[in-house]
Structure 1
Amino acid sequence: MKLGFIVNPIAGMGGKVGLKGTDGAEVLKRAIELGAYPEAGIKAKKALEVLVPYKEQIEIITSPGSMGEEISKEVGFKPIVIGKIKDTTGPKDTEMAAKEMIHKGIDLLLFAGGDGTARNIYNAIGNKIPVIGIPAGVKIHSGVYANHPRAAGEIALKYLKGEEMDVKEVEVMDIDEEAFREGIVTAKLYGYMKVPFEPDLIQNQKSGGIEGEEAALDGISDRIIEDMEEDVLYIIGSGTTTRPIMEKLGLPNTLLGIDLVKNKKLVASDVNEKEILQYLKDNKAKIIVTVIGGQGYIFGRGNQQISAQVIKKVGKENVIIIATKKKLMSLGRRPLLVDTGDDEVNKMFNGYMRVRTSYTEEVVHMVKGL
């Protein structure tokens, strides 16, 4: 079987530094200036390692250097490399690689990136062959991604081994990053791609909207404010569920960023990972996060600024999860998910945690580290 393998090496670099994405040369430059470093390759490697026991039966066709060649060789494959090494890569390189791989007759395309990368792949190949996305970006609204890197490898292996599984057409979504940085989420459907479908391993498309939940959010925010302790730094996660807390405190809110509050006053707004860690040196802290509707993530999607290192310093016992009952019901019986990129931190969350669902109520919900 022939496996196409593409890594977008800059995917996700804007996350921890608070840039909400890495689309565009200027944004990438700014991310690097803020101390961002490539992590997509680390996640892609986790997926590819699953395939290593079958490396003699799988032929990998990949792009040069950091776009796939280095990782393939590092884990023990002898890939066929197409294209030329470049100092910097961009969307056109991803599209050209995908087109060339189709010409080489690949059976499946495994790629690492975010929604922008999925869109590039779609532009190049449409729904000609099945694909699997390794989640490595800041924005991951599309349904083509596995729910964590190793799951992408597991799906690829099952498909390449010829195991019986459904192949479904799922949405390729992307949002306007510039509007996103201004707190406006404008998601657009670009098309559909085929994905080998394993319900427990494929990430659901993100669901949005909180209409009709104002009363529950009002109660949640009242209780959170009432319980706030003096001289404790509160790391307020992104999203519309945490927004009422800031509004009731009379503080400006970064809807899609991370804000810091102490003694009910704003300490800093729209902070990145480095800034959070700096404030943690002198403060006891708690983290307030919500659940991504339809997907269940509490860490690792859209709030990468609250990194594994931040979580370690704060401690699991100081993580406060808030969500309306409607949002939890959107998950069915699926667990809440943690995908920080750090296995130790992910496993730390395995088990059950309390979720504040109204002023008076909490529920206990299973959490799974990926």
Structure 2
Amino acid sequence: MNSELDSKAKPFRLGFLLNPYAGLGGPEGLKGSDDISDDLRRQAGRSTERARRALAPLLERQADLEILSAPAEMGEQLLEELGLSHRVVGALNDQGFSTAQDSERIAQELAREGIDLLLFVGGDGTARNMVNAFSSELSGQVCLGIPAGVKMHSAVFAINPESAAEVLLLLLKNGLVDLRQQEVRDIDETLFRQGQVRSKYYGELWVPEVGHFVQQTKNSGREVEELVLADIAADIVERLEDDEFYLIGPGSTPKAVLDELHLEGTLLGFDVLHAGEVIAKDVDASHLEALLREHPDKCKALITAIGGQGHLLGRGNQQLSPAVLKALGRDNLWVLATKTKITELQNRPLLIDSNDPELDRELSGHIPVLCGYRDTIYYPISCGV
């Protein structure tokens, strides 16, 4: 049964974007590639070769992948060369070579296609493009950089192309992959050429990292659930905003948030938390629908999975009806679970069954799961079809 579910899981949607000129300035002693000449652009860059090293291991996992690629030299050509099936998104400008503006625009187009991860190839300048692309409504997009630039000050890159491949393969195997916000920094190339190193912070990107399952609180090699729940609750409490409405779902994990606030809650139902107080207890779907109509874009749902089964939606929390889920949106689902609960799934995805098959397919994919205090992993949810 487990293998059947795994075989029907929604493919991992990987976006791919390559800066073909990244790193070209290094051999020329230019300290960067922001202002390279057109003649230099015509040379084969090292970014393509480094991307090839990261992508080659994916050939054996094509059945688990749906690749959406930037066009032409920005990804399409390399994927065709490698024999990796893909769909092209976006188009280049008519200048004869790709630009930073192309990177930002096409990155946004890829993100709007609902990709689980954007794999980009470049240096700090390309990372800055990603910050610009995802600075507003797309700020939750998860990215991973393949390092190919001259100056690499940002913390959003894998150690090397092979390390990027390892992260991708672990995601495809539904392994435990940490999710963290990492800084994007860059230096002023003009000053750098004059011998002055001046690094500037430009923003942050969500980045998957392979971490070790080592708990700070242990009992015979296992998590102490009460302490981990307290850690999860402490993290959530730090995130609460007074003008937001939080739908606290069934289960001991969401209820731990109310316990942290010394508030009474409903263990098997939904309570509404606002401005530090429970304003409604044990509410039904119609109440939630009315709340969302009155306060659109101001509601978040805190939910957890059923232990052993792994059901995230459609079992015990049907108050999140298809209408409620559509009004909420995927990004406003806050999934809470201990790592013990996740590892007990034995690499199976979390399951959703909202009674709306099309909605279930739309919700499927990788999602952040809060597992402890400032400890988030990236894990798949699936409708099993």
Q: Tell me the TM-score normalised to structure 2 length.
A: 0.49
* Cα drift, residue 29 of structure 1: 3.5
**Partner of 2:19 in structure 1?**
8
Pick the aligned partner of 1:103 from 98, 105, 112: 112
Pick the aligned partner of 1:115 from 117, 124, 132: 124
* Cα drift, residue 138 of structure 1: 0.2
The alignment status of 1:165 with 2:177, answered yes or no, reads yes
**Partner of 2:79 in structure 1?**
72
**Partner of 1:17 in structure 2?**
28
What is the letter of the counterpart of residue 178 of structure 2?
D
Mapping of residues 41-190 of structure 1, within 5 Å: 41-85=48-92, 87-126=96-135, 127-190=139-202
What is the letter of the counterpart of residue 123 of structure 1?
N
SS at match of 1:111: strand
Mapped partners of 1:114, 1:168: distance in 2: 19
Mapped partners of 1:55, 1:76: distance in 2: 10
Bigger shift: 79-88 or 53-62? 79-88
Describe the shift of the 1:145–1:21 C-alpha distance in structure 2 as closer, same or farther (beyond 3 A): same
What is the letter of the counterpart of residue 2 of structure 1?
R
Contact kept in structure 2, 1:72 and 1:79, CA below 8 Å: yes
Deviation readout 1:144-191 (Å, 9 max, x if unpaired):
001111111211221233211210111101111111111111101111
Deviation readout 1:127-156 (Å, 9 max, x if unpaired):
412211001000110000011111112112
Describe the shift of the 1:88–1:101 C-alpha distance in structure 2 as closer, same or farther (beyond 3 A): same
Mapped partners of 1:30, 1:23: distance in 2: 14
Mapped partners of 1:174, 1:104: distance in 2: 28
* Cα drift, residue 36 of structure 1: 5.5
Describe the shift of the 1:76–1:198 C-alpha distance in structure 2 as closer, same or farther (beyond 3 A): same
What is the letter of the counterpart of residue 62 of structure 1?
S
Describe the shift of the 1:199–1:175 C-alpha distance in structure 2 as closer, same or farther (beyond 3 A): farther
What is the letter of the counterpart of residue 95 of structure 1?
E
Contact kept in structure 2, 1:173 and 1:188, CA below 8 Å: yes
SS at match of 1:56: helix
SS at match of 1:196: strand
> Where do 5+ consecutive residues of structure 1 fail to align?
201-370
Overall identity of the aligned pairs, in %:
42
Q: How well do the aligned residues superpose, as a CA RMSD in angstroms?
A: 1.8
Mapped partners of 1:101, 1:120: distance in 2: 14
What is the letter of the counterpart of residue 83 of structure 1?
G
Describe the shift of the 1:185–1:99 C-alpha distance in structure 2 as closer, same or farther (beyond 3 A): same
Mapped partners of 2:181, 2:169: distance in 1: 19
What is the letter of the counterpart of residue 124 of structure 1?
A
Mapped partners of 1:91, 1:50: distance in 2: 28
* Cα drift, residue 28 of structure 1: 3.1
> Where do 5+ consecutive residues of structure 2 fail to align?
1-11, 213-385
SS at match of 2:37: helix
Deviation readout 1:232-257 (Å, 9 max, x if unpaired):
xxxxxxxxxxxxxxxxxxxxxxxxxx
**Partner of 1:263 in structure 2?**
none
Which is higher, the Rg of structure 1 or of structure 2? Answer: 2
Bigger shift: 82-91 or 101-110? 82-91
Contact kept in structure 1, 2:146 and 2:161, CA below 8 Å: yes
The alignment status of 1:195 with 2:207, answered yes or no, reads yes
